[in-house]
Amino acid sequence: MAGPMRIRAASNGTETEVKILMSHDMETGQRKDASGALVPAHHITELTATHNGRVVLAAQFGPAVSKNPYLQFKFAGGAKGDKVSVSWVDNKGDKRTDEVVVA
């Protein structure tokens, strides 16, 4: 099972900047292991970020997103103490949700 995400959400009063570092192998399905067999693809497919329950970003990832994906975005509004929650699903059905309080 994948490790927790590191999320940072900072508000400057008018907008909130969110930085997310996920922990995932993001295997492309192109790589071969030592015996020459293809390593099957295993990557995050969808990610959703919400602010106090409202969706602020919906992303779809292909295998070309780097290992341990990083993502940064901004949305209008957001105040200190608000909750930003991020969840992802990968192509094997694994999922993870983490939440952070806006600083």
Partner 1 sequence: MNTQRREVLKSGSAAGLFGLLVAAGLITTQQAQAAGWDKPAFEAKAMDEALKALGAGKPADSKDVQISGPDIAENGAVVPVGVKSALADTEFIAILIEKNPSMLAASFTLPAGTMADVSTRVKMGQTSNVFALVKAGGSFYMVSKEIKVTLGGCGG
For residue 80, the minimal CB distance to partner 1 (Å) is 18
Nearer to partner 1, 65 or 100 (CB): 65
Q: Which of 5, 7, 9, 71 binds partner 1 (CB under 8 A)?
A: 71
Dist. CA 10–CA 20, nearest whole Å: 12
Q: Which of 3, 25, 30, 40 binds partner 1 (CB under 8 A)?
A: 30
Backbone angles phi, psi at 8, to 5 degrees: -130, 130
Residue 13, interface with partner 1 (CB under 8 A)? no
Residue 82, interface with partner 1 (CB under 8 A)? no
Tell me how far CA of residue 21 lies from CA of 26, 36, 40, 70, 99, in angstroms.
13, 31, 23, 5, 13
Residue 76, interface with partner 1 (CB under 8 A)? yes
Cβ neighbours for 51, distance < 8 A, ≥ 6 positions apart: 16, 75, 77, 78, 82, 83, 84
Nearer to partner 1, 31 or 80 (CB): 31
Nearer to partner 1, 74 or 80 (CB): 74
